[in-house]
Amino acid sequence: MSQGVRDTANVRTWSKKVPAYLFDLGDLDAHVLKEHPEVISAMGRARTPRTVDWNGAIVLFLCGLLPLMAAAAWGGVLTESRIEVDALSEAPEIGRWCFSGSTLGLIVVAASWWRTHRLRSTLEMATVLWAVGAGVYFLVGTWNDGSVDVLPPDQETVPAWLTILGGLVLAAVMQWASHGQRLQFRRFFRVTHKPNFDEVRRLVGRLDYRRQEKLLDERRRAIRRLTERGLIDRTQAARVESLPLGCSPMATDDD
């Protein structure tokens, strides 16, 4: 069995776990027929390769690493010597730029949360709270150092205040207004071209009869699970079940 087949969720797992924001009824038969790439190709689909989670990397950088750099700068970790009198002179400027990036990171987190149907991510929630904690640490340090104004804030401390207040508001909203936890799931197939359903029927017809019956049984079970989860209604379920195996893209609203 090829690496692509092993990396692709079977139809049972897909129908149980696919989140609403990634669900496409046209993918149903692609998962049923995942071991038959020639049929999947005729369906106008191809496997989606694993890619780097750039959104997660951006969130980690903006809401995780940048606040750490700001806090470390104030603590003297990034200075040449903690003994020098002016060792912390650059810390407020570093903090200003770092927390400006963190404020942008909060916007990225909020957009990701909204785009995924208000499902919260543990990673994003943790990085937001981390940024808030680093902001508090930074402000306490600058308050004790007395080099910049914390109350009222000046241009060096305004970004930290924005990160703290914005992060607290965002964390509260994500906690109380979310529909649940975001699953670590991905799209396993992508649309590449227009389906050729005559070719699909021909290729499926060449499969062993017992193999076809087994696949159809798996498909019926998946349709029942999708209906129970509310991802499709009974009318859609009846329509896709009436279609030949491999023709689930015909049941989508766009076709």
pLDDT digits 0-9 by tens, 162-215: 999 999 999 999 999 887 777 666 778 888 889 999 999 999 999 999 999 999
pTM value surpassing 0.75? no
Rounded CA-CA distance 36/18 in Å is 21
More confident residue, 51 or 242: 242
- State the residue for tokens 């689930």: 248
* pLDDT score for 144: 60
State which amino acid sits at residue 202.
R
**Do 119 and 19 touch, CB atoms closer than 8 A?**
yes
* pLDDT score for 78: 45
* pLDDT score for 9: 80
Taking each helix axis as running N to C, give the angle between helix 158-176 and helix 91-115, from 0 to 180 degrees, rounded to the nearest 10: 20
Rounded CA-CA distance 238/249 in Å is 14
- State the residue for tokens 């979310």: 178
* pLDDT score for 52: 59
* pLDDT score for 212: 93
How much of the chain exceeds pLDDT 90, in percent? Answer: 37
Read off the pLDDT of each residue in 96-119 and give the average, rounded to a whole number. 87
pLDDT band at 87; cut points 50, 70, 90:
very low
Residue 45 pairs with which residues in a beta bridge? 191
Tens digits of residue pLDDT in 27-61: 999 999 999 999 999 999 988 776 656 677 888 88
How much of the chain exceeds pLDDT 70, in percent? Answer: 81
Which are the contacts of 240, defined by CB distance < 8 A and separation ≥ 6?
Answer: 25, 28, 223, 232, 248, 251
Whose CA is closest to 37, among 141, 151, 155, 192? 192
DSSP string, 76-125: TTTSS-SSSTTTTTTHHHHHHHHHHHHHHHHHHHHHHHHHTTSEE-HHHH
Query: 64: which 2 tokens?
Result: 């995780």
Answer yes or no: is pLDDT of 90 > 80. no
Tens digits of residue pLDDT in 120-141: 888 889 999 999 988 888 887 7
**Per-chain mean pLDDT for the chain:** 82
* pLDDT score for 143: 67
